Amino acid sequence: TGRLIILGIETSCDETAAAVVVRDGDGRGEIRADVVLSQLDEHSVYGGVVPEIAARAHVEALDTLVQEALAKAGVGLRDIDAVAATAGPGLIGGLIVGLMTGKAIARAAAKPLYAINHLEGHALTARLTDNVAFPYLMLLVSGGHTQLVLVRGVGDYQRWGTTIDDALGEAFDKTAKLLGLPYPGGPAVERAAKSGNEKRFSFPRPLVGEARLDFSFSGLKTAVRQAAEATAPVSEQDIADICASFQRAIARTMDDRIGRGLARFNAEFPGLEEAPALVVAGGVAANQALRGALQMLCDRHGFRFIAPPHHLCTDNAAMIAWAGLERLAHGFPADDLSVSPRARWP
């Protein structure tokens, strides 16, 4: 295939986003425009995402963002080869807005439509940023997902592990809330932890030592609550110590869980041409304590550790556009305009 160009749309949570991405004949990607409007301010007073507010905000922002992305890329609808829009999983109101907009544009411009699984967008981002070859391992850690996935090819994924209760980002958010820190909790916990003593509290390390590759974080939240109650009234130093100890427990837990995943990968794929790769995605991938732990783990196992830039780890439309381009380039058929959004789509 030659050079392909696509318009991408993402509306599955609280980010309204549009992007224009190009894929050259050698499979290399180039982001020509990538615009994101975060609704953070609108939700932060509620301490979380409010689905109805999110859906309405997508309606208000999306058409302007699409125009902005096309203008930035210097292309018109007639220049693009296809339209890609997130069809799930996520909040159904937002998905309806994005997918219907994508369908309307595809129909009006007579272009094929790709209805993209948001998780596939995260999974393939490392090929856009780093041209990583299949197969590789992907760790997705966001507010909604915690998954270790074997990426064998476009559309060819095997979930090796998932959380049996809270997502990792959720654990950060709930911990922050318990400690009276602002939403979203991840950055606030990381900031507080900087001046904390990580050895003061010994928090649980769920599922460590077990052969299965799943995760569990709800017990950690309970332990944080107990620590906060035991030290009440909590001082700023107590909060810092709890946050530092919390991050340490997570780093140790992930070292064990992901370490098992790397060992399994090496056993299943011996003698790859390139060194094997672990790629991360999702908002929690911004966390330096987690990154440090994963980097050391990868060094020990001979893996390349690939962390795309932060704005491509969190929700964005460039990854949706890229997933569409990969599907198009690998000969996957476009979706019919009757395709429905799916709140749940593993």
Name the residue nearer to ligand KG4 (CB basis): 80 or 287: 287
Q: Are strands 4-10 and 136-141 parallel, antiparallel or unpaired?
A: unpaired
For residues 282 and 169, is the Cβ–Cβ distance under 8 A?
Answer: yes
Question: Hey, which residues between 54 and 113 contact ligand KG4 (CB under 6 A)?
Answer: none
Question: Is 330 marked as binding a ligand?
Answer: no
Query: How many angstroms separate the CA atoms of 249 and 243, rounded?
Result: 10
Q: Is 308 in the site for ligand KG4 (CB under 6 A)?
A: no
In whole angstroms, the minimum distance from the beta carbon of 268 to ligand KG4 comes to 28
In whole angstroms, the minimum distance from the beta carbon of 200 to Zn ion comes to 33
Instruction: Give the SS3 label for residue 60.
Output: helix
Question: Is 190 marked as binding a ligand?
Answer: yes
Q: Which positions ≥6 away from 126 have C-beta within 8 Å?
A: 132, 136, 138, 277, 279, 281, 306, 308
Query: How many angstroms separate the CA atoms of 142 and 173, rounded?
Result: 11
**The one among 91, 277, 284, 323 contacting ligand KG4 by CB under 6 A:** 284
Q: Which range, of 26-34, 80-88, 178-186, 252-260, touches ligand KG4 by CB under 6 A?
A: 178-186
Q: Is 186 in the site for ligand KG4 (CB under 6 A)?
A: yes
Name the residue nearer to Zn ion (CB basis): 73 or 317: 317
**The one among 39, 86, 117, 142 contacting ligand KG4 by CB under 6 A:** 142
| Nearest-10 crossing angle of helices 218-230, 168-178 | 20
Question: Is 268 marked as binding a ligand?
Answer: no
93 contact choice in ligand KG4, Zn ion, none (CB below 5 to 8 Å, kind-dependent): none
Residues making contact with Zn ion (CB under 5 A): 142, 315
For residues 317 and 83, is the Cβ–Cβ distance under 8 A?
Answer: no
Q: Is 13 in the site for ligand KG4 (CB under 6 A)?
A: yes
Q: Are strands 304-306 and 146-153 parallel, antiparallel or unpaired?
A: unpaired
Query: How many angstroms separate the CA atoms of 230 and 224, rounded?
Result: 10
How many chain residues interact with ligand KG4 (CB under 6 A)?
19
Q: Which range, of 181-189, 223-231, 255-263, 299-307, touches ligand KG4 by CB under 6 A?
A: 181-189
**The one among 39, 147, 287, 316 contacting ligand KG4 by CB under 6 A:** 287
Q: Is 305 exposed, middle or buried (0-12, 13-18, 19+ CB in 10 A)?
A: middle
Question: Is 79 marked as binding a ligand?
Answer: no
The two structure tokens encoding residue 320: 């949706």
H-only helix segments in 179-309: 185-193, 218-230, 236-268, 288-301
Q: Is 10 in the site for ligand KG4 (CB under 6 A)?
A: no
Binding-site residues, in ranges, read 118, 122, 140-144, 173, 186, 190, 287, 315
Q: Residue numbers of the site for ligand KG4 (CB under 6 A)?
A: 13, 142-144, 169, 172-173, 184-187, 190, 282-284, 286-287, 314-315
